[in-house]
Amino acid sequence: MRRILQFAVLCLGAGVLTACTPDTVVETEDIPTAGVRFVNAVPDTFAVDFRPVDIVENSTFYGVAFRSTTLLAYKNARAGSRHFRIFQSGTTPEIATVVVKDTTVNLEAGKRYTFVLWGYARAGSSPARRLTVLEDSPADPGAQIAFRVVNATDAAIDTRVYPNGGTVPSAATWSGVAALSASNYVNVAVGRTNINVQPAGGGTAIVNTECTQRGLAGSVDIEAAPGTEIAGSALSAIIVPRSVAGSTAPNLTTPGLICVWDRRPPRAPGV
């Protein structure tokens, strides 16, 4: 009986010692990441899936249809040399394993990238479908906002940025932006903003509408949401074509605008 009691006291002492020992610090890997997003601007075919094939991570975009605006937030992806593929979107292996595009790209930590699939999928159509990776790294516009135009149509365009409710200016903000390309960033005044798009050299407007990214001012506990009314923001106006009649793309009969943010405003001092 004494031996049992001594053993119990010994175990109790060991338990007290363990309880008083500081918690073990387990160091986790600080993974450098970049932001990635995916835009499907192919007007004559089905939805697609965009995903990494080198490592498992949540930088996938599933079921992205032509001109979809529901999956345009950046997702974190491990920085470095990365391998991505675009597949047909479907529920059967015969469809979902078909590779549309395959690319390897170097992602720099802290930067943001837009992967744009554009052009035409149908044989003989021009420009042919291709994948382009745009770096979304504008300089800080300070008390203004930064804008660029991304031309996903098949012809060059002139684009004007002007205040909502104002008059379309005679001079283009960007002239002759080539098909399937992006302009430089320019700084414009904060406020509700309209985008006017015309064929290169002028003509009837292809698109003339308000950029819908309004934004939200930050506070002590809420990070600012970038937009045209929040200084320090940067946005892209993506001009997308109409869909090809009779194709499997959603039936959209006129060109359109997707307005997305590229840069959050910096946090205000003391916030």
Does the pLDDT of residue 21 top 60, yes or no? no
Which single residue is written with the structure tokens 């819908």? 212
Burial 135-165 (b: 16+ CB within 10 A, else e): ebebeebeebbbbbbbbbbeeebbbbbbeee
**Would you state the pLDDT for residue 271?**
43
What the block records as the tokens of 264 is 């959050």
pTM exceeds 0.85, yes or no: yes
* Every domain of the chain and the residues it spans: 31-137, 138-271
Q: What percent of the chain has pLDDT over 90?
A: 76
Does the pLDDT of residue 10 top 70, yes or no? no
Report the alpha-carbon distance of residue 183 to residue 206 in Å, rounded. Answer: 17
Taking only the tens place, the pLDDT of each residue in 214-233 is 888 877 777 888 999 999 99
Q: Does domain 31-137 have CATH number 2.60.40.1120?
A: yes
Report the alpha-carbon distance of residue 110 to residue 191 in Å, rounded. Answer: 28
Taking only the tens place, the pLDDT of each residue in 107-125 is 999 999 999 999 999 999 9
Lowest mean pLDDT among 20-24, 34-38, 48-52, 93-97: 20-24
